[in-house]
Amino acid sequence: MTKEVRTRYAPSPTGYMHIGNLRSAIFEYLAARINGGKFILRIEDTDQARIVEGAVEVIYRTLKTIGIRHDEGPDIGGGYGPYVQSERKDIYLPHALQLVETGHAYYCFCTRDRLDALRSEAEARGVQYKYDRHCLGMPVQDILRRIKDGEDYVIRQKAPDSGTTSFHDEVYGDITVNNENLEDQILIKSDGFPTYNFANVIDDHTMNITHILRGSEYLSSTPKFIHLYEAFGWELPVFAHLPLVIKSDGSKISKRNGDAMFDDMIREGYLPEAILNYTVLLGWSPGDEREFFTLAELEKEFTLKGISKSPSTLDYDKLKWMNGEYIRKMPPDEFAAIAEPWISKGLAGENLDIGKIAHMIQKRVVLLGEIPDSIGFLVNAGPVDPSLYENYKMKCDAGLAQEILPMALKALSGLSEWSHDSIYNSMAAAAAAAGMKNGQVMWPVRIALTALAVTPGGAVEIAEIIGKEETLSRIRSAIKQLEA
C-alpha cells in the first residue's frame, strides 16, 4: 500500500510573509495536492524572543487570500496536534533524553562567556568555529549535581566526526558531506525550549510528514537532521531544497531592507492570482513556454522535477506585467467590483459613475494602486499647458486648438442626450464639417478636459463620465486660457 504523502508549511511567527516564504508554502501545498496527499500548517514558535504579535493571523490571511487551504493546523485541528510548537513542549525533552541515553547527545554546561571566547579564538586563527566537546564524557554524578544546583545547561547532539554522510535531494541530486565539518548542534536550549532544528525533526516524524520542501539555505544542515532520524531509528522523509529567491543585486529578500512583503503587494494593488502565478515561476518551470496558470491547473501539473537548482531573481517589472495581464483578462463586472475602492479613493467623494470609470481604465491599469492618481483629473483637471496641444501625428498645436475647441463646444452644447454615442457622433460630425479627421478634433478636446498628455481614456469616454455641464465648463476654461 502506497504511503500517503504529507507535506507541511511550518513558518515562524516572527514577521510578515515575503515572496520566499510564500513560495515555500505554495510548493509544499502543490507537492501534496499533486499526489492526492495532505498539506499541514504548523506554527514554529520556539524562538519566543522574536515572536511578532499578529504574525500568526497574517499567515492565516495570506494562505486564504491566495487560495491555499490546509488540511490540518492550529485553527482547524487534526489527528497529529497540537500544531503549535510551544504547545508541544513536553514531547521534545523526552526525545532529547532518549538520545542522551543512547549516546547520541550529551549535557553541556558551558557558559556564554566560554563559548564566545572559543569563537573569538577560532576567528583569530582564521578557522571555522566548532564546539570543542568540553562537556562530552562528564561523569553522571557531576551532571546530576550541577543540574540539582540549578546550573544552566543545554543538550547537544553528538554528531559523527569522521567518515561521510550521503543523501539524495529531489532538486540537487546526490550529496555527500564530510562529517568532520558537522558541529554538535544544540537540541534543547537553557530555557527548556527545543531549537528549531531539533523540534523540526521531532515534529515532522510525529506528524508523519513524508516530504520536506524548504529553502536551500538548510541544505548544509540536512546531514545533522539525517543523523537524528538514524539515531531514533526513523525512516527518512523525501528532501527537496528550493533555490533562493534573490533581488536583482544578488542580495536576499528581507523585510528589514524594505523589501515588499505579501501584504505590501496587496496594498499596492497586486492581484493575489498574479502574485501566486508569478511566485510559482520563481524556480519552477512546467517544461514549456507557458507562463499563466490557475491554482487548479497547478494542482494537476506541478512536479518536483520542474524545480531549478539556480537562484531566482525577483523581477518587479515582470510581476507588474503579469498583474496587468490578469487585470485585462478579468470579466468587466469582476474588475469593477475589485477596482471600486481604489476608484472611490481617487474620486474623493465626487459622485461619478464607477462602472463607466472601471470600463475606461481596465485595459490600461497595471496596478490597482495606480488607479487613484490616474483618475484624479476627473475631479480636478487644473489649467492647461498650451504645449500639450502640440501633436505632430495629429497635426495639431495651440493655434489649431483655438479653432477646434469652440467648434466642439458648439457641437456638444446642442446635445439633448449625453451618452457615449451621442458625444462621439456630434464631434465626428463637427470634424467632417470642418474637413478634419476625428482624431484631430478629439485630441485638443481631451487635453482641454484633462490638462494631461496621457490619460486612461479618450475624449469621448472622459466627457461621458464627467457629464455635460463639467465638460462644457472645462472646454470654455481652456478656450479662455488660449485667448489670454
Q: Which domains does the chain have, with CATH numbers?
A: 6-73+245-313 (3.40.50.620), 86-242 (3.40.50.620), 330-369 (no CATH), 386-483 (1.10.10.350)
Q: Which of 408, 402, 374 shows the shortest CA–CA distance to 389?
A: 402
222 has a pLDDT exceeding 90: yes
Question: What are all long-range contacts of 129-135, with beta carbons under 8 Å and residues at least 24 apart?
Answer: 130/183, 131/156, 131/183, 131/184, 133/184, 134/108, 134/110, 135/106, 135/107, 135/108, 135/109, 135/110
Which DSSP letter does residue 396 get?
B
pLDDT of residue 251: 82
Burial track 67-91 (b if 16+ CB lie within 10 A, e otherwise): ebebbbbbeeebebbebbbeebeee
Q: Which of 245, 204, 248, 246 shows the shortest CA–CA distance to 222?
A: 204
Mean pLDDT across the chain: 94
175 has a pLDDT exceeding 70: yes
Check residue 435 and give left, alpha or beta (phi > 0: left; psi -120 to 50: alpha): left
- Mean pLDDT for 18-27 is 92
Length of the chain: 484
Q: What is the largest CA-CA distance in the chain?
A: 109
From residue 195, give the alpha-carbon distance in Å to each of 48, 96, 100, 428: 11, 11, 16, 75
User: Higher model confidence: residue 6 or residue 251?
Assistant: 6
User: Over the stretch 306-324, which tens digit does the pLDDT of each residue have?
Assistant: 999 999 999 999 999 999 9
Q: 186-188 and 154-157: which strand pairing?
A: antiparallel
Cβ atoms of residues 275 and 319 within 8 Å:
yes
448 has a pLDDT exceeding 60: yes
- Mean pLDDT for 213-225 is 93
Cβ atoms of residues 99 and 187 within 8 Å:
yes
Residues with Cβ within 8 Å of residue 295, at least 6 apart in sequence: 66, 67, 68, 273, 276
178 backbone dihedrals φ, ψ, rounded to 5°: -80, 125
pLDDT of residue 258: 63
154 backbone dihedrals φ, ψ, rounded to 5°: -125, 165
For 193, the grid coordinates are 525550549
User: Which SS3 state, helix, strand or coil, does residue 481 take?
Assistant: helix
Predicted model pTM? 0.90
pLDDT of residue 189: 94
Which residue of the set 255, 345, 437, 468 is catalytic? 255
Distance CA 170, CA 160 (A): 25
Give me Rg for the CA atoms of the chain.
32
Distance CA 361, CA 342 (A): 12
Distance CA 230, CA 240 (A): 19
What is the full DSSP assignment across 119-158? HHHHHHHT-------TTTT--HHHHHHHHHTT---EEEE-
User: Over the stretch 90-114, which tens digit does the pLDDT of each residue have?
Assistant: 999 999 999 999 999 999 999 999 9
User: Over the stretch 351-377, which tens digit does the pLDDT of each residue have?
Assistant: 999 999 999 999 999 999 999 999 999
Residues forming beta bridges with residue 165, ordered by sequence position: 177
From residue 388, give the alpha-carbon distance in Å to each of 91, 373, 394, 459, 460: 73, 19, 12, 14, 18
pLDDT of residue 338: 97
User: Over the stretch 27-44, which tens digit does the pLDDT of each residue have?
Assistant: 999 999 999 999 999 999
CB atoms within 10 A of CB 202: 21
Cβ atoms of residues 267 and 369 within 8 Å:
yes
Asked about 437 being catalytic, the answer comes back as no
> E strand or H helix at 183, and its extent?
none
For 272, the grid coordinates are 493575489
User: Over the stretch 35-83, which tens digit does the pLDDT of each residue have?
Assistant: 999 999 999 987 777 888 889 999 999 999 999 999 999 999 999 999 9
Distance CA 147, CA 153 (A): 8
Question: What are all long-range contacts of 332-340, with beta carbons under 8 Å and residues at least 24 apart?
Answer: 332/358, 332/359, 332/362, 335/362, 338/271, 338/368, 339/365, 339/368, 339/371
pLDDT of residue 184: 96
CA 319 remoteness from chain centre: 11
Residues with Cβ within 8 Å of residue 236, at least 6 apart in sequence: 167, 226, 229
Query: For the chain, what percent of residues have pLDDT higher than 70?
Result: 98
- Reported as a pLDDT band with limits 50, 70 and 90, residue 14 is confident
User: Over the stretch 388-424, which tens digit does the pLDDT of each residue have?
Assistant: 999 888 888 999 999 999 999 999 999 999 999 999 9
Distance CA 362, CA 331 (A): 10
Residues forming beta bridges with residue 41, ordered by sequence position: 9
- Reported as a pLDDT band with limits 50, 70 and 90, residue 256 is low
- Mean pLDDT for 373-386 is 93
